[in-house]
Amino acid sequence: MSDRLVLLGSKGGPALRPGGPWPSSSLLELGGRAIVVDCGLGVTRGLVDAGMSLKALDLIFVTHLHSDHVLELGPLIHTCWTAGLATPVTVYGPPGTNDCWLHFCRAMEFDIEIRIVDEGRPDIRDLVSVKEFGEGTVLAEGGLTVTALRVDHPPVNDCFALRFEHGGRGVVFSADTAFFQPLAGFAKGADILVHEAMLEEGVERLVARTGNGARLREHLFASHSLAEEAGHIARDAGVKRLVLNHLIPADDPAIGEADWVAAVRKTWAGDLTIARDGLVVGLSGQKAASGEETV
C-alpha cells in the first residue's frame, strides 16, 4: 500500500444538490494503515470507488459531531460488516461519539440480530471499539502517531485538528475552524495540510438563497476560514503542500478552481491542490498519483 490521501467528499455542510460533491470524508493510507477521517454522507461509496476493500476497515477518526462529518459513521461500519468485515475496528472521536455508535446499533438492532443468526456473522457490537479523545496524543501504535489540537469552531467546543505521522511523513487535517493561529505550530513542517476554505463572494450568494440567511452568514464567518486565511496558516507552518477542502461553497456554478487559486495565492505561494471528490494526493517524495492535479 503506497502512502496517499484520497479526498472522498470535498464540500462543507450537509446539503446535497444535483450533480454536486459529497460532504466531508477522506481516506489516508499511511504506514500500511487505511485511515478514514470523518464520515460524511457518501463515505462508503467513496471508499469503494477509491479501491479500498470494505473488509479491511481498520481505523476511523471523527473530528467533531456535526452531521456532515459523522452522519455515515454507523452505516459505513454496518455496510463493511455486511461485506464480510470480521476484524476489529477502532473509532476515535470527541466526547459523544460512543453515544452516536450505540444509538445506531440500537436503531439497527433487528437487522443486526437477525443477520447474526441467519447469516452466521460475528456480532458487530463486539468488533467495534470507540475511544473518545481530547487534546494531545490520541494514538501511538506501530510507528503511527496521531495527535489532536482543539480548534475554534463555535458553538462546537469539541472540534479537533488531527496530525498523522509515520516514517517521517506528516499529514494534518484542520477540521472545521475559524482562522486559528495555533494551528500553524501544530502543522509545522507537515507534508500536507488539509485545510477548510470559504470564498466570501460565494458565501454571500449562498446565504441569499436560504431561508435563514442572516443566521447562516453569522455562523459561517464565526466558525470557518477564508481561503486566504488557510494560506496564511500553511505559510506560517511551512508545509510542503496545502490542500483546500471542505469547500464553502462547493457547488456554485459561478465559482471555479481559478477563483479558489486566486484567493489563496494572496497568502500562499507553495504547492496547492483544490479538492474535488475522488482526487488522489501523493505524499512528498512520491510521484503524483494519476488523477491528481496541482497548481
Residue whose C-alpha is closest to residue 170's, from 147, 195, 149: 147
Residue type at position 191: D
Burial class, 51, CB count within 10 angstroms (exposed 0-12 / middle 13-18 / buried 19+): exposed
Which of these is catalytic: 3, 38, 68, 191? 68
Residue 39 one-letter amino acid: C
Q: Crossing angle of helices 257-264/227-237, nearest 10°?
A: 50
How far is residue 32's CA from residue 61's CA, in Å, rounded to a whole number? 16
Q: Which three cell numbers, joined as nine digits, stand for 199? A: 470564498
CA-based nearest residue to 224, from 241, 207, 212, 211: 207
**Residue of 11, 28, 17 lying closest to 67 (CA atoms):** 11
CB-count burial class (<10 Å; 0-12, 13-18, 19+) for 281 = buried
Does the annotation mark 68 as catalytic? yes
Is residue 272 within 8 Å of 4, Cβ to Cβ? no
Residue given cell 461553497 in the structure block: 249
Answer whether 24's CB lies under 8 Å from 11's CB: yes
Q: Which residues are catalytic?
A: 68
